[in-house]
Amino acid sequence: MRVLGALLRKELRLELRTLESVPGMALFSVTTFVVFHFGLNRPNIEGDLAAGVFVVTILFAGMLGLNRLYVADQEEGGFDGFLMAPVDRTWLFVAKAIALFTYLVVVEIVAVPAFGLLLLQPSILPVLPSVIVVLLLANLGFAIIAALIGAIAVHTRARDLIGPLICLPLLIPVVIGSARALEPLFTQGGAGTLETKWLLILGLYDLVFGLLSVAVFDPLLED
């Protein structure tokens, strides 16, 4: 646990000092909402369309974070330093996943109000607690997959391409779960209820891939 704390402090401090990922991701998501406004040519959206636009925007914003996640470790020797320390390597995965999860939460703190102001027609306020629950589960799934695949992609030559290319199909269950869960919440005329089925799918996904990633992360760091 001390190892995890140290690694996490390092990640967050690095991000706070360089501001490489989070501001870019947040700006990207707000800009994408504007782009969607013009692309769809609609003043506001609701229901399944709103859920899809929102989830896909966050997904692509997350891809930016994925591409930056291990670059510093690879280029500035962070991997070498970590490998010399006598600690369990899986902690690096856990720290990266938590860091990315935190980035996504910060991005959504900006993106959700922006989405509510710019595009969503029914007010987001009454359903906010349910939206937060869905987003937390979806963030967790994204962070797990991205922290694992990012470690693979950073060692490939076309890393900015390989990472998203592997992640997108892997994340389709997360997209299904979160978009379908958000759909009734974003529907005009009375807040729909949150279906537990989608929360179960998201939770199951997080659980399975969380355990699996912890099990297979170790071989990615050997040298």
Structural tokens at position 98: 């938590």
Question: What is the CA angle 10-160-81, rounded to 5?
Answer: 30
CB 216 → other proteins: shortest distance, Å? 5
> From the CB of 220, what's the least distance to other proteins, in Å?
6
Q: How far apart are the first and last CA of the chain?
A: 25
Q: In this structure, what token pair is assigned to residue 109?
A: 């703190």
Enumerate residues 99-158 that contact other proteins by CB under 8 A. Answer: 148, 152, 155-158
CA atoms within 13 A of residue 211's CA, in its CB half-sphere: 5
Among 43, 86, 129, 169, indicate the residue that binds other proteins (CB under 8 A): 169
Give whichever of 29 and 213 is closer to other proteins, judged by the CB atom: 213
* Closer by beta carbon to other proteins, 30 or else 185: 185
- Is 155 in a helix, a strand, or coil? coil
- 133 Cβ contact list (under 8 Å, min separation 6): 194, 199
- Nearer Cβ to other proteins, position 26 or 100? 100
Among 110, 166, 191, 199, which residue interacts with other proteins (rule: CB under 8 A)? Answer: 166
Decide if residue 214 touches other proteins (CB under 8 A).
Answer: no
HSE (CB half, 13 Å, CA atoms) of 72?
17
**Residues within the interface to other proteins (CB under 8 A):** 148, 152, 155-159, 162, 165-166, 168-170, 172-173, 176-177, 180, 197, 201, 204-205, 208-209, 212-213, 216-217, 219-220, 222
